[in-house]
Copies of this chain bind each other. A is one copy, B any other.
Amino acid sequence: MAKDKGPRKPRAETPKGFRDYFGADVTERKAMLDKIAGVYHRHGFDPLETSAVETVEALGKFLPDVDRPNEGVFAWQEDDDWLALRYDLTAPLARVAAQYRNDLPTPYRRYAMGPVWRNEKPGPGRFRQFYQCDADTVGAASVAADAEICAMLADALEEVGIPRGDYVVRVNNRKVLNGVMEVAGILDPNDPEKFEHERGIVLRAIDKLDRLGPEGVRALLGEGRKDESGDFTKGAGLGDEQIAPIMGFLKAGEFTRESTSIQQGLIASSEVFSRHINPVPGVLKALKSLVGASRVGAEGVQELETIASLLAAQGYGPDRIVIDPSVVRGLGYYTGPVFEAELTFEILDEKGRPRQFGSVAGGGRYDDLVKRFTGQSVPATGVSIGVDRLLAALRAKGRMQADTRGPVVVTVMDRDRMADYQKMAAELRRAGIRAEVYLGNPKNFGNQLKYADKRNSPVAVIQGGDEAAKGVVQIKDLFLGAKIAAEASHEEWKSQPAQTEVPRENLVAEVRRLLGAG
């Protein structure tokens, strides 16, 4: 040990972009995830916990958000292999589905919760380790599986405390978009790789509809767009006749967005209301005409129709789940339906301006991920909940009622009677009350009360030699004490109404009374 005593001490710092979670941060997240797991379990999903480490080979090229160049994984070499921390829970699922394909039931419904790691440049609100919470069905080709995931997502949001009306699950289908791209002449069914670059720009432009508005998107489909800072983003270079069907596609979503707003009471016009209360038929009709003769496009519209009718039959109406063509989802690997859960209430941002909370979950169908390993196409669909965002939303709405009270603190007046104090704490615990003995240096009694304050303790128990001789204990109501200290006059304060003396045998009863009242 003496060797470590050199002048250079290690820095006590969480590595850049990582963070530590204390107390309620841990228990509140756990409470939320337990509720979500309950919903998934009731739907027949089984838990899966894969190793945090994968071979880079197994993770493959399926890194998310390909337009950010700094993107990556934490990786290291080991003999001939490269190993890496998983960057999501989907890639490991694809590996598991291939590796255990003879043992797993088909379809395989699984949920997974845990940290993932991204080797990104850290920034404000951008962390390199965060939680995901996923549910996926592997081996079900039917869009009934997609519908189930959407319905389950709605149930999960309500279960954790987001009431109906405060969220909406938006559903789209990549095939419809592909149909529209075919019509726009940037997708050739006979040469799927042609125009890949242009389609990438189109996808990202649509993804930014919320932020840029229709005119901004149109500019990105054409020559390009100059943003407020003066920076120019090169566009896809499409001509007007190519842009038209894509803009029409986005417009088809307006029905939905309007009527969602109505459902959520943001627009009060009863005329608009009666016209758009069920937007599904209108949207589907518009999409059908937009995809024209495209086979894949027609298939996509048909799938959306099936999803909508399955959901409607189970009572998931447009107040909870809607068809919305503007949903794209960035990931390249989606092949069919895509979905996104958005919280529709407003919160105040750091500058006090109201803004929509936005997306907390997303997913879709990815039929080609398992194929990488086995060569055989395996249909799969699933959703991922952004755990930190959903937690932040629940906190913003005051829906996390975690008990942040600290333990009852039994103070130490007489170092030699530690056993007596530990007995008191044990009695309280046996009665189900969180309690501990002060274990710092007991010399300075003020420090003991400061400690109780820091722990947010509701009650302190005090027994000096005199009290022990008389067979009594002092019970101090620390919350009331703090209130009195803040508000009362000096005389009131000195009379110590927050402190009661009770017989030693009444310790548990008196503490319980105070906690009940608190």
Which A residues are closer than 8 A to B by beta carbons? 1-2, 4, 9-15, 18-23, 25-27, 41-44, 46-55, 57-58, 60-61, 74-76, 81, 83, 85, 95-96, 98-99, 105-107, 109, 115, 117, 128-129, 137, 139-142, 144-145, 147-148, 192-193, 309-310, 313-314, 332-333, 368, 372-375, 406-407, 409, 418-420, 422-423, 426, 429, 432-437, 439-441, 451, 454-455
Contact = CB atoms under 8 A, between A and B. Distances in A.
A330 to B, nearest CB: 16
A436 B46 CA distance: 12
A336 B233 CA distance: 65
6 smallest A-B Cβ distances: which pairs? A44-B436, A313-B419, A12-B98, A18-B51, A44-B407, A140-B439
Given A13-B58, A314-B423, 12 more contacts: A10-B60, A13-B99, A14-B51, A15-B51, A15-B81, A52-B52, A53-B129, A105-B451, A106-B451, A109-B436, A109-B439, A142-B439
A435 B49 CA distance: 22
A228 to B, nearest CB: 32
A216 to B, nearest CB: 29
A18 B81 CA distance: 14
A157 to B, nearest CB: 16
Given A4-B61, A20-B50, A48-B20, A42 B10 contact: no
A351 B420 CA distance: 50
A53 B10 contact: no
Contact of A21 (B21, B49, B418, B429): B49
Contacts of A115: 52
- Could you say how many copies of this chain the assembly holds? 2
Contacts of A12: 58, 95-96, 98-99, 373-374
Given A10-B58, A14-B99, A435-B44, A313 B423 contact: yes
A310 B44 CA distance: 50
Nearest to A332: B1
A436 B43 contact: yes
Nearest to A7: B375
A201 to B, nearest CB: 18
26 contacts: A1-B332, A9-B375, A10-B372, A12-B96, A12-B373, A13-B55, A13-B95, A14-B99, A15-B55, A20-B48, A20-B49, A26-B47, A26-B48, A42-B429, A42-B432, A52-B52, A53-B117, A53-B129, A74-B76, A75-B76, A76-B76, A106-B451, A140-B439, A144-B418, A148-B422, A310-B419
A9 B375 CA distance: 8
Given A23-B47, A99-B14, A310-B422, A141 B441 contact: yes
A57 B107 contact: no
B15 A145 contact: no
A426 B76 CA distance: 46
A46 B23 contact: yes
Contact of A422 (B96, B313, B407): B313
Given A26-B47, A43-B436, A436-B44, A10 B373 contact: yes
B47 A27 contact: yes
